[in-house]
Structure 1
Amino acid sequence: MLTEQSTKDPLMNTKTHIQKVATDVNRNGVKVEKTLDDITAYNQKTLNVAFHANVNGHIGLNDNEVIRFDRVKTNLESAYHRKNGILQAPTPGYYVFFVHFLVLAQKRLEAQIVKNGYLIQSIFAGTQDVGHGPGSNLAIVRLVQGDRVWVKVHDKYHDTGDILDGPWCTFSGFLLYPEV
């Protein structure tokens, strides 16, 4: 409701409004600082996790064998270990994993993306015909700090001898959404 004073002097009304807003900001200054401190702490705890690796050369595989993608191209936070083929989550959150295989002519492979020993996603690559057979799959999974993810050969559904055409076989992953 407009008062007689505010209708007579709009400049005074504006000045009063600005003083009220300034008072509110000063009163809430502690809340603003606290929010900024929370955002800064969140950004300091959040890690950028990403990796990308290939298989080196043509390789044969055994039942339940962990596939070592030992030619590491990217490895932020050193979360992926090329010697054992396992990613260990340095921070909790939702991660994306992608696996691609190219098997040699007339070969087949069934593999699995595994979290702490439990199946997350299956992958099939192969062909009965002449030529190489591709196969790939993607998974999004929640990990807590210390969880481990790897790719392993199925316990019985794969051929023997050289199966993979290494440079075309990749395992990649990244932290999509961190939990703090």
Structure 2
Amino acid sequence: MFSTIATIQISIIYAQTDTAACNSCCTAGVPGIPGNHGNPGVSGPQGMNGVKGEQGMNGVKGEQGMNGVKGEQGLKGEHGMKGDNGRNGLDGIPGKLGPTGPQGLIGLPGTNGVKGEKGEQASQQKSAFSVVFTSNPGRHAISPMKYDTIITNVGNNYNLDTGKFVCAIPGVYVFHVSSMKSSGGGTVLTRIMKNGNFQVSAYGSNTGHHSASTMVVLDLVSGDQVWTQPYNTNHNYYYSDSDRYCSFSGFLLYAA
């Protein structure tokens, strides 16, 4: 390495001597064209590692800065958008029963319900009769009128032989009588009797045939008797025929 450096230095000295000698007698020529770069030299050997330096001292810790001044309260923000409805909460414990409120107004009538099934008819005691004269009784005697024909006799409580209705079912009864007088004059006055006591009368007069009727409601007990009869011989001018102008009827209104 040292020989190479010495050679380079000698070459430089000769070149400087030649140039100085030339400059004294010659005119400088035109510079030549620069030559091409030479190839890179071979890398030198790696140097040895240097000695490790000592560790530096720790820096001094700075003092803590002072707290800043508290800022003023900011302006109130705008209302946010309404959130979605939350889920229903659990049912609470039932409260105590409150006091009874005032009675409300009467509501409108409801619709008719479905018609129920026909019920069983209760057993009902029955008694009814209807009797007539189909022939002319004429001047009837002052005694129970014995009608000659039975139209109805439910319960068989009317006796055709005696002309009397005999009560077998205690209760309230309705009785009706209708009588026609003869056309030859005279009058009829027919009475409804109960156990021999007069109850009501039907009176008919005027010329020609004329009818009279009456009705009564009686409260009877078992064994009571009801019949019809003329008032007296001045009012017993009866007339009837197959058209049945004279009649006597009765029926149980309701049992006691």
By the TM > 0.5 criterion, same fold? yes
Match of 1:66 among 134, 144, 148: 144
Shift of 1:174: 0.3
2:133 aligns with: 55
Match of 1:165 among 215, 220, 240: 240
Q: How does 1:101-112 map to 2 (within 5 A)?
A: 101-105=179-183, 106-112=185-191
Instruction: From the superposition, tell whether residues 96 and 159 of structure 1 become closer, same or farther in structure 2 (CA, over 3 Å).
Output: closer
Give, in whole Å, the separation in 2 of the partners of 1:113 and 1:97. 8
Give, in whole Å, the separation in 2 of the partners of 1:69 and 1:156. 19
Which has more radius of gyration?
A: 2
Q: Work out whether 1:4 is the aligned partner of 2:94.
A: yes
Structure 2: gaps (5+ residues): 1-92, 96-120
- Contact (CA 8 Å) 1:124, 1:136: kept in 2 or not? yes
1:177 aligns with: 254
Q: How does 1:31-180 map to 2 (within 5 A)?
A: 46-105=124-183, 106-127=185-206, 129=207, 131-159=208-236, 163-166=238-241, 167-179=244-256
Q: 1:17-68 CA deviation, whole Å, 9 max, x = no partner?
A: xxxxxxxxxxxxxxxxxxxxxxx9xx55x52111011013111234522111
Q: How does 1:6-25 map to 2 (within 5 A)?
A: none
> So what's the TM-score if we normalise by structure 2?
0.49
Aligned partner of 1:165: which letter?
A: S
Shift of 1:132: 0.5
Shift of 1:125: 2.1
Ranked by relative contact order (alpha carbons within 8 Å, sequence separation 6 or more), the top structure is: 1
1:29 aligns with: none
Aligned partner of 1:108: which letter?
A: T
Instruction: From the superposition, tell whether residues 172 and 159 of structure 1 become closer, same or farther in structure 2 (CA, over 3 Å).
Output: closer
- Contact (CA 8 Å) 2:180, 2:245: kept in 1 or not? yes
Shift of 1:71: 0.6
Structure 1: gaps (5+ residues): 6-39
Give, in whole Å, the separation in 2 of the partners of 1:157 and 1:68. 19
- Bigger proportion of residues as helix: 1
- Bigger proportion of residues as strand: 1
